[in-house]
Structure 1
Amino acid sequence: MRVSVDRDRCEGYGLCVEEASHLMHLDDDGELVLDRADVPPESSDAAEAAVRVCPVAALRVSA
């Protein structure tokens, strides 16, 4: 599983980070940084939750 972010859509709300802080964080400028684009199996639930909570649908997961 991989996580990707649409930088044009991302507004930096950080709700995704609350769900999956071990996979992503906001930098000092409020930009989302994916620490792990390749999601380990044990983190798939957190990655999917991060995608669900994004209010602007900027995140996607793929196989």
Structure 2
Amino acid sequence: MKVNVDQGRCCGAGQCVLIAPEVFDQRDDDGIVTLLEPSPAADVHAAVREAAAVCPAAAITIDDDR
């Protein structure tokens, strides 16, 4: 799995950070998403998929290795 974030689309809702804090964080000044782990471990794949699904700005995309 490869995770990508589009900071230009991000609205700073923070749902991704709540769901997968190992992979996502937010900038302190404006709350925009930052990607901590572009190739997360398999044990957090489900959480990353959920974070992408609930993102109100569709700023998170996932490329599967499958």
> Normalized against structure 2, the TM-score is what?
0.87
Identity %: 35
Opposite residue 14 of structure 1, the aligned amino acid is G
Unaligned runs of 5+ in 2: none
Q: Secondary structure at the match of 1:4?
A: strand
Distance in 2 of aligned mates of 1:58 and 1:33: 11
Taking only aligned residues, the RMSD between alpha carbons, in angstroms, comes to 0.9
> 1:2 Cα deviation (Å)?
1.1
Question: Are 2:33 and 1:32 equivalent residues in the alignment?
Answer: yes
Distance in 2 of aligned mates of 1:32 and 1:23: 10
Misfit runs of 4+, over 2 Å: none
Distance in 1 of aligned mates of 2:4 and 2:38: 7
Opposite residue 51 of structure 1, the aligned amino acid is A
Q: Secondary structure at the match of 2:17?
A: helix
1:60 alignment partner in structure 2: 61
Matches within 5 A, 1:43-58: 43-58=44-59
Contact 2:7 2:34 in 1 (8 A): no
Opposite residue 2 of structure 1, the aligned amino acid is K
Q: Secondary structure at the match of 2:25?
A: strand
